[in-house]
Amino acid sequence: MIEDLLAVILISSIFMSGVRRVKLVTRVFIFQSLAIGLIALKLGLDTGKMDYYILGLLTIVTKVIIIPIIINKSLNQLKVNREMDLIVNGFISYILTGIFIMISFGILSSSHDNYIKTGIALFIIGVLLMVARKKAITQMIGFLTFENGIVLFEISLTKMSLVIEAGIVFEGLLLALVMGIMIFHINKTFDSINTDFFENLKE
Amino acid sequence: MQYNLFYVMQSILILVLSPLFMGILKKMKATLRGYKGASIIQPYYDLNKLLKKGRVVSNRSSFITTIGPIVMLATSITTVFFVPVIFTTMQNTIGNLFILIFAFAIIKIFTVLIGLDSSSTFGGMGSSRESFISMMAEPLTLFLLTFLYIETKDFNLFHISFINSNITHYDMAHIIVMVTFIISILAENARIPFDNPETHLELTMMHEAMILDLSGSDLFYVELSSYIKLIVYLVILINGFIPIGIATTFTFSALLIGFLAFVFKLLFCLLGIAVIETTIAKSKLFRSAELFPATISLGIIAITLIYIL
């Protein structure tokens, strides 16, 4: 069951790295977050710890329901649908993601904990999305993927206090809210959400 | 050796029922789109109508058009006998995966040659597109083969099915490869993200463009071979990757369970294809080619995982 969900996470992370349409990326992100939430709930069912239940519920509520609503709202305001000129194009980002996942699983091959490996793979894919895309909204989704990686990484650790877990989840929520407003203002100032135009800000 | 007769019988079952399954697929699509649709035995009527007609061959075409369709049908009928359907054992000598893959390559190359042979514009266009797609689909198939070999240490599909039927819980790599194989099925059989099997619009068609010049009994051979090819691919998916419930002992109850499980899984796969075809639009040629790096990197990951874990 958990292995299946981890496979869903890996597949979704691959598709997320190369798809151009922002709505599609958001939908894949929802799948990924749902899988992570279900993993936490399943672990809660297995171990009986309250922490896992709370973490799973928080992840599902914030990342499956609230954040997609925010993203869709700002997408409708902006009328941006697809990422046109990528810094790293679709072909190469798919292959890069595959190689990154391969490396992160290879380096950590001595540990038998799949959460850490998948978590680190998600870190790298999130960073790739942040670096290789120009639209601010995709970069935000990249950061949220990074957050998903942190959640997975943290599931594998034996004990982290609930305050920190809740902090991580709410940080993601807050980031989405702030970025939603920020992107709106970026669009108002530059008539585009391409982060390349930030260079115009210097004297 | 003692079950040879049964193997032949179960393969003939698939051969006879493949137009029925295609009819079910068309019916599912019609139902999902909200109209009534033709009856599920309509493909039999269509094939019968085609078979009754004579053949018309362009006077520009060479012997390729004469022998091509029958070679395609013969090859696809051969592949049916290389897959387990509802019963499998460890004592089987035929069923090598490489023969299956190269038989499909024969079908593909004859389709491409028929498209080029009649020297019509659409045929050449369809052939070039088909070669473009298959250029990227072939390495994918090899990755999947490698994965199945590493997992079971066997190339025989009957043995693979026997070994995998004992697995109770699938690991990550297995599921990733299964998803990859589903995409590969869609690519090899000209289904929707890559090619629309229903259209005759010249801008979008690939498989239909190549067989546009065939008619009558030639078209019958090609159509039947494409039906069989899709069903055989689905059988490889079902019995190679998820062979739960396949009969491994020759008793009546096991065979019944195997048959029911097979039909249920096949109908589920057909429903999946129908849902994909009604929800996704056909993507542009070069955009659909972007799907292959994704699947190839999925294959890389799966092979890494099975080595490490």
Query: For the residues of A35-62, what is the DSSP string, one character each?
Result: HHHHHHHHHHHHH--HHHHHHHHHHIII
Residue A77: pLDDT band (50, 70, 90) is confident
Mutation target to probe the A interface, by most A beta carbons within 10 A, among B174, B287, B291, B297 is B297
A3/B170 touch (CB, cutoff 8 Å), yes or no: yes
Torsional class of B62: left (φ above 0), alpha (ψ -120 to 50), beta (otherwise)? beta
Which of A108, A101, A107 shows the shortest CA–CA distance to A122?
A: A101
**Number of inter-chain CB pairs under 8 A, A vs B:** 66
Instruction: Tell me what pLDDT residue B72 has.
Output: 93
Work out the minimum CA distance from B302 to partner chain A, whole angstroms: 9
Sequence-distant (6+) residues with CB within 8 A of A33 are A59, A60, A63, A64, A148
Question: Measured between beta carbons, which residues in chain B are less than 8 angstroms from residue A114?
Answer: 172, 309
Kindly state the tokens that stand for B308: 């490490």
Q: A83 pLDDT band (50/70/90 cuts)?
A: low
CB < 8 Å to A8, chain B: 175
Say if the Cβ atoms of B176 and A7 lie within 8 Å.
yes
- Report the pLDDT value the prediction gives residue B1, as an integer from 0 to 100: 61
Q: How many domains does chain A have?
A: 1
Mean pLDDT of A108-122: 85
> For the residues A41-68, what does the mean pLDDT come to?
87
Give residue-wise pLDDT tens across range B232-280.
Answer: 999 999 998 888 888 888 888 999 999 999 999 999 999 999 999 998 8
- Interchain CB contact of B300 with A (< 8 Å): yes
H-only helix segments in chain B: 4-33, 42-52, 63-80, 97-117, 121-152, 157-164, 172-188, 207-210, 216-241, 252-279, 285-288, 291-308
Please, what is the average pLDDT of chain A?
A: 84
List pLDDT tens digits, range A3-54: 889 999 999 988 888 888 888 888 999 999 999 999 989 988 988 888 888 8
Structure confidence at residue B16 (pLDDT): 92
A7 and chain B in contact, CB less than 8 A:
yes
Is this complex's ipTM strictly greater than 0.85?
no
Which residues of chain B neighbour A94 with C-beta distances below 8 Å?
290, 293-294, 296-297
Q: Find the length of chain B.
A: 309
Angle (CA) A12 B191 B220, round 5°: 160
Q: What is the pLDDT of residue A160?
A: 65
CA neighbor of B264 nearest in space, from B232, B242, B291: B242
Q: Does residue A93 contact residue A127 with C-beta atoms inside 8 Å? A: no
Domain boundaries, position A194 = 2-201
Residue A4 to residue B301, Cβ atoms within 8 A: no
pLDDT bucket at A71, cuts 50 / 70 / 90: confident
Ranges under pLDDT 50 in chain B: none
What is the spatial distance between Cα A64 and Cα A46, in angstroms, rounded to a whole number? 23
CA gap B101, B142 in Å, rounded: 9
Q: Given this model, what pLDDT does residue A159 score?
A: 66
Structure tokens at B229: 């090819």
CA distance A169 to A32: 15
pLDDT at A203: 64
- Name the helix (H) or strand (E) containing A91: helix A90-107
- Mean pLDDT calculated for residue range A60-82: 83
Q: Return the pLDDT at A158.
A: 63
